[in-house]
Structure 1
Amino acid sequence: LRDRLNALKAKPVFGFTRIGLFGSTGAGKSTLLNALLDKKFFLPVSGTRACTSCQVQISTYGNKHYEANIFLLSEEEWKDELRNLVLLLEPENEDDESDTDMEHAIGKLRAVYGEGAERRSYEELLRAKPVITIPHSRRITLRKAEAEELSKELDPYIRNQDNGEDSDSEMGSSDREMEERREKMRLWPLIKHVEVTIPMSDLVPKDVVFVDIPGTGDSNKERDEMWKKSILECSSIWVIADIERVFGGKEHEIMLREAIKAYQVGKCSDITFVVTKTDKTNAEEYMSTHDAILEQNKDLKIKKGRTIKEKMKRFLPSDSEILQKSDLLYTVSAKEYWRTEILSKEETEISILRDHVRKLHLNMMKNLVQDYVHEIHDFFCLMDVCAVLLLQVQPSQQDQLDAYMKIKIQELGTAAGRVFDHMDLPLLSGVKSARRLYKKNMEKFFNQGKDSRGFHGTLKAVCVRKGVFVSRIFSRLDINNLLAQPIYKCIDAPFGNIFRKQRSTKASLQLVIDEFGTEIKSKFTEVGRSTGLSNSRLHLLQQEMDIILKALERQILLKKKTIYESLELSIQTSLS
């Protein structure tokens, strides 16, 4: 009883609703976030170029001040990164080859160790003293009273250093201020992620966390692992696309696939598509710009929405809840939200997106509160039972009940096995397809770099990183996933059916578990009637059964991710 009470006290009633903004370079994630928060230049923005250099998390909290915690790579993590950077830059031949990946690696080394760092060995760099000041705690905390003050302080840490642009914060600064700013900017290779908290407002509910996620991962191993983990931890994934790049591109396909994967094996229960910069339009002579934008947005929602659903149907059961969404796609203009020259604030759909956030958060909080109240009720039932010392079930009946439970648990295992049998044929078919296509897929992989200088360096990075490397030129390169794709193509639909929670079918694990729970509860009722078991004791048994089933669901959530990713992991292990 004491253990149950302590567990209840330690458990938070409310959780966080994590919304991942998932978009490629220049898609407008930061601009969209600024509009949602009603803070125009809170995160750095810059046209179509990448502005944020790392993953940024923003949450609302009860404090009155604005705070940012900047987390740096640990000493061991940086050593691992340093080793990979040096390997990438090792000369393979006499040609003076160069590409964006290698230039990016050189930029990292020079930022930390100064000019000429790229010509030093790994051992020399380990002994060298960095030209920047690295805090011993590997963490920097900024706290300001106003959003503008924090934004100015935060900007040099998170602004992308590949752009070669001066930010508004640097304009008009003194020589000393500019030097201090440049010192902060040199820390960018070491920054792992940033967590920002802002005061509560009427626009965004408390405990909503926005995560600005780089579109295809990160060239740094630790940041890339965080990228994968963050996607799977999100309650909702927003795939962000600029209107001029909304209908294609490799990066968009990767993001859509990752969002679907999060829905299949992670905590994600919602996928939303947001088309940004919709104020860009070529109005016909007979139509005003205002009407042209609205007509364009209406057309986009029909055509793009249909295309997205068709793609999602390849991986998900056709009656999945996500495919029934009427508000799958939003068309927004953050630019017009601030100036309202052509569109009204309502027509920019920023406020509609905020309503969407509130609904998501409300649904999540409602489910959490229901679970919490359920556990409290169970605790009071337990107190009732503890007040009655006399055992009402005879030992022989207790033995019968134990034997029944053992039989039912065995039957549950057998039934679960039959459910997983539905994977056998698709898995076999997928393996055959993978064997047939692996040469063709690898040829396609190598052909990406036939016209690229320095592709040998990129391939070396792929091998060093065990088959995965995020290139500045070729986006995300993942040999393990490439070789596993034919298998995933065959098993995605049956996998979705097995682990579905809504509209359970005979092929779903949830139906088997529900039937098991119903049969056990019926047995408890039967035993209770025959022995004169008190209502409080009977209710306790049934509540305990619910708790066990909830714990089982949590374990399944964890295990299905392991099962799904085991294909790529097996390939990676074999090739390593």
Structure 2
Amino acid sequence: MDDFVRNKLTEWKLSDWIEAFEAQEIDEESLYHLDDQEIDQLITKAGPRVKFKDKLKLLKEEKNTTQPQKEAVNTSGQDLPSISERAFQSQMSSDGYGAAVGTSNSYNLGRGSSSVLADNQLDPPGKRKSDHLQSESRKWQPPLKKQYNCAAGSQSETEILSDVKNIMRCVSEGLHGRDKLSAFLKDKIKNLETEKRHLVGVFGKTGAGKSSLINAIINNEGLLPSGSVSACTSVMIKVEATNGSKYEAHIEFITKEDWEDEVQSLKQALEDNDDDDDDGGDDDSLDPDGKLSALYGEEWKERSTHSLMDNKYFIDIPEFRTSKIKILKSDTAERLSEKFVKYTRSESNETEEVKRWYWPLVKCVTVKVPDSDFLDHVTLVDLPGNGDTNRSRDQMWKEFIASCSTVWIVTEMNRAASEREAWEILEDASSLLGNGGECQQIHFICTKSDHEKPDDLNKVKNAVMKEFKKRKTITNHFSEDCFQVFTVSSTEFLKGENVNPDVNEILKLKEILKNLNDAHSETSNYVSGAYGILSLIQGARSGEVVEQKNDVCAVLEQNLSIQLNRVKKAIEDIIKVFEQCLREGVEKSKKSCEKKLKSFLHPSKKTNRAFHMTLKSAVRNDGIQKPKKGKPKNLNMILASYLTESIDEKFRDTFPNNIKCGHFNGAIDAFSLSTDSLIEKYKDVELQLTFLQTEGKKMKTKLNKTILTRKKLIYNSLTETIKDNMKECYKEAAAFTGKGTLKNMRDTIERHVHSKMDMFEEAKYVMLEQLNDLKETVLRTLEKTMKESIEHSLKPEACSLPDVSEHLEVVKKHDDELNGTQDEKK
């Protein structure tokens, strides 16, 4: 065990588990590769385990986005943290992880702290240091690539973004000083780079027209296989743009270990069907015969699980054996489709000559399409409706669902309002999309609108909207404003003849995707941040106005203290409301869980014979049963339902998926250091204050995104805590075989729930603890980021910086053009 892991556990308030991690020799590298089973073995209590998984997931996201920084050269003899350490500490704080353990005291940026700049310059006799530095900076002037025409509307946002990125790249190259301010500025320039990719999840039952719709959207009929009612998508398919000229399919496989475990489960399910006295039921979600026969034909029936792992079965897919991504390329969509069909279809026409189907081994397929500009920042994801019994596929399914900003529910026109499966898919996913996700828009798309009259289409739309309002499970998470209905005909659109946009609304859907793909937010944020950084550089070159800087510093630090207290009180008031809601939810759960449990264990519309394998499948899958058809059943969500219902409305108001509405009832957005009024009073430090304006805006944007990620984990912690408490009885119930298995499973589950009534209180505690952790993250991020910015803006020591006045003028005009001079910057 290394210091990194020990420090992380200490930072996360999980010191009690250091010994367990040390005994298993968990170091930094292995920490990132822990799976759920290994975590369960290391941390045996549900509360700390949920907290650890939450923190580890965020740490992995941080690791994937943070790039190594160059270290600063320190010639002062002081023990200063390196640039990479400071970048890491700053990034960790702004993303919600807190300052890294072991930060040097010299990095304390509060008022009156020691200087953070080292004096690395020697002045000639009789020459002031500032003159020397100004002279040195003139040796390097970053050239303007071209003369920019900044008249309104003269450049597209793409051109503006490209121009400003070129400027900032050039400026960064000119910051080759060894002082801390230069390192700080280089980090700020690097952190301007952000990219938001919007996920659009596409759901619908087999034959509803999902693949045809996606083909029509990208204007290519032959990309995704469609047209066969018997053929359905068995794996997740992502469709996005590529910069290359060829069509590509990137195929990601599950691990060989995962497949071996699944084969064992499939074979065991078949044995249970054959041996148990209560066997029966045709809704077993494992579909063992279908999966095993697709890959092995009839051979699997006579072979052991171990022998079915022989490499001869995977000779055509060496990537599966080596855990690599298989890449297929073709000049045409049709040819690529022929190549990857065996990796995506769960059933085939008898006329198709495919010897071996590999879809049971596939985790996800990413199809990359050339010449699709509107997919540069948008990914369409064709999703199975119920997730998957394979753990890794199901985990990816949940992550995709929770990350969708828009969802399309695809169903046929003639039964749009009454199509049970479409509504069940939406109901089942609503908590993952809403309070447990970040979905902002639901589009209910009625396909096959060929030759329909506008009046008839309006009747269908009204009927669908009426049905939406009846679905309380959905409306708990989404308002009417989030729901829209569209009518389309993919066939007619691809023909390209006489398309009536009022009847066939594919063009409207394409426009929605173009708006999602619009880089305005990215461009605006980048240009605004660049304007602030250039202002700081130019301001730092100006003459010393020590008295004004000290005065402004004092005011800013006082404002910061006042604002932090306001944010703290606002969040604490909200947490108190959640505590009261959860207290009521706990009491209701204790009183009514027996009724909920009975409805799951003794369904009125099923015989014992039919229910036996349904329950067997559920206990094998941690309480979750996913039928091939119909609505999944999740006992953990059923038991947690009173808890989640108690907070649903308040949670949606507190953490809206549209972050423009403001998290914590707008408390974050209201945070302000009142720099506008200070600029009016202290003109000599206007440039530094401008940097603080833009830095505050950027910080709040990033913090709101962090909150959006964290709130998903917080909401889902209720169900996860219940699931962790139920795992023991699921394992016990799954072990029963032979006569009386159904009764034994029921009795085991009932007995366990009755003895675990404190799990509802524990779920409440875990959620409140995570809310308090989020509060501390928010306050720490606001304080650390703004203190650091104030310090570098108004308390720097002398250093060598380039003259960026021309660049500043250009970027300011771009910023005004994008945001309007009337925008008030906080």
Task: With the length of structure 2 as denominator, give the TM-score of the two structures.
Answer: 0.59
1:93 to 273, 276, 290: 276
1:141 to 327, 334, 355: 327
| 1:410-489 correspondence runs (5 A) | 410-448=565-603, 450-451=606-607, 455-489=611-645
| 1:467-546 correspondence runs (5 A) | 467-500=623-656, 509-515=664-670, 517-518=671-672, 520-521=673-674, 525-526=677-678, 534-546=685-697
Per the alignment, residue 273 of structure 1 pairs with 444
| 1:306-321 correspondence runs (5 A) | 306-309=466-469, 311=471, 315=475
How far residue 424 of structure 1 moved from its aligned partner, in angstroms, is: 3.2
How far residue 469 of structure 1 moved from its aligned partner, in angstroms, is: 3.4
1:387 aligns with 2:541: yes
| 1:91-490 correspondence runs (5 A) | 91=272, 93-94=276-277, 97=280, 99=282, 101=284, 104-113=287-296, 115=298, 117-118=300-301, 122=305, 125=308, 128-129=310-311, 131-133=313-315, 134-136=317-319, 137=322, 138-161=324-347, 164-166=348-350, 170=352, 178=353, 181-183=354-356, 185=357, 187-201=358-372, 204-246=374-416, 247-249=418-420, 252-256=423-427, 258-259=429-430, 261-279=432-450, 290=451, 293-309=453-469, 311=471, 315=475, 323-324=480-481, 328-338=484-494, 344=500, 347-362=503-518, 365-388=519-542, 390=544, 391-392=546-547, 398=553, 402=557, 405-406=560-561, 408-448=563-603, 450-451=606-607, 455-490=611-646
Contact 1:238 1:273 in 2 (8 A): yes
Deviation string, structure 1 residues 87-136 (Cα, Å, up to 9, x no partner): 4334252567473537721332344455353565555655x555342314
What is the identity, as a one-letter code, of the residue corresponding to 1:195?
T
Aligned-CA RMSD value: 3.4
Contact 1:113 1:129 in 2 (8 A): no
How far residue 314 of structure 1 moved from its aligned partner, in angstroms, is: 6.5
Deviation string, structure 1 residues 62-81 (Cα, Å, up to 9, x no partner): 32211111111122332343
1:571 to 722, 735, 738: 722
Q: Does the residue aligned with 1:159 lie in a helix, a strand or coil? A: coil
Per the alignment, residue 816 of structure 2 pairs with none
Change (3 A) 1:437 1:27: farther
1:561 to 712, 731, 739: 712
Deviation string, structure 1 residues 501-557 (Cα, Å, up to 9, x no partner): 67869xx61422233x23x225x845x777775111222223322233223212211
CA distance in 2, matches of 1:223, 1:103: 13
How far residue 565 of structure 1 moved from its aligned partner, in angstroms, is: 0.3
CA distance in 2, matches of 1:493, 1:385: 47
What is the identity, as a one-letter code, of the residue corresponding to 2:235?
C
What is the identity, as a one-letter code, of the residue corresponding to 2:284?
D
1:75 to 253, 256, 260: 256
CA distance in 2, matches of 1:244, 1:489: 34
CA distance in 2, matches of 1:250, 1:429: 33
How far residue 207 of structure 1 moved from its aligned partner, in angstroms, is: 3.3
Change (3 A) 1:375 1:154: same
- Alignment gaps of 5+ in structure 2: 1-181, 728-826
CA distance in 1, matches of 2:335, 2:529: 44
What is the identity, as a one-letter code, of the residue corresponding to 2:491?
K
Change (3 A) 1:549 1:207: closer
Larger Rg over CA atoms: 2
Bigger shift: 308-317 or 146-155? 308-317
Change (3 A) 1:243 1:49: farther
Q: Does the residue aligned with 2:226 lie in a helix, a strand or coil? A: coil
CA distance in 1, matches of 2:294, 2:432: 36
Contact 1:231 1:259 in 2 (8 A): no
CA distance in 1, matches of 2:661, 2:212: 40
Q: Does the residue aligned with 2:383 lie in a helix, a strand or coil? A: strand
Contact 1:68 1:141 in 2 (8 A): yes
Deviation string, structure 1 residues 429-449 (Cα, Å, up to 9, x no partner): 333333344333333323458
Deviation string, structure 1 residues 354-408 (Cα, Å, up to 9, x no partner): 223223333xx21221111111112112212332474456769856754663454
Bigger shift: 457-466 or 105-114? 105-114
What is the identity, as a one-letter code, of the residue corresponding to 1:536?
L
Per the alignment, residue 84 of structure 1 pairs with 265
Q: Does the residue aligned with 1:211 lie in a helix, a strand or coil? A: strand
Change (3 A) 1:116 1:440: farther
What is the identity, as a one-letter code, of the residue corresponding to 1:373?
V
Q: Does the residue aligned with 1:219 lie in a helix, a strand or coil? A: coil
What is the identity, as a one-letter code, of the residue corresponding to 1:17?
H
CA distance in 2, matches of 1:396, 1:376: 26
Change (3 A) 1:244 1:101: farther
Task: With the length of structure 1 as denominator, give the TM-score of the two structures.
Answer: 0.82
Change (3 A) 1:108 1:260: closer
CA distance in 2, matches of 1:413, 1:339: 59
Change (3 A) 1:310 1:111: closer
Change (3 A) 1:490 1:24: farther
Question: Percent of aligned positions with the same letter in both sequences?
Answer: 27
What is the identity, as a one-letter code, of the residue corresponding to 1:207?
H
What is the identity, as a one-letter code, of the residue corresponding to 1:478?
N
| 1:34-45 correspondence runs (5 A) | 34-45=215-226
CA distance in 2, matches of 1:352, 1:397: 51
Q: Does the residue aligned with 1:235 lie in a helix, a strand or coil? A: strand
Change (3 A) 1:332 1:451: farther
Contact 1:237 1:259 in 2 (8 A): no
Per the alignment, residue 22 of structure 1 pairs with 203
Per the alignment, residue 174 of structure 1 pairs with none
CA distance in 2, matches of 1:392, 1:547: 28
Bigger shift: 389-398 or 474-483? 389-398
Change (3 A) 1:453 1:533: farther
Q: Does the residue aligned with 2:633 lie in a helix, a strand or coil? A: strand
Change (3 A) 1:7 1:57: farther
What is the identity, as a one-letter code, of the residue corresponding to 1:76?
E
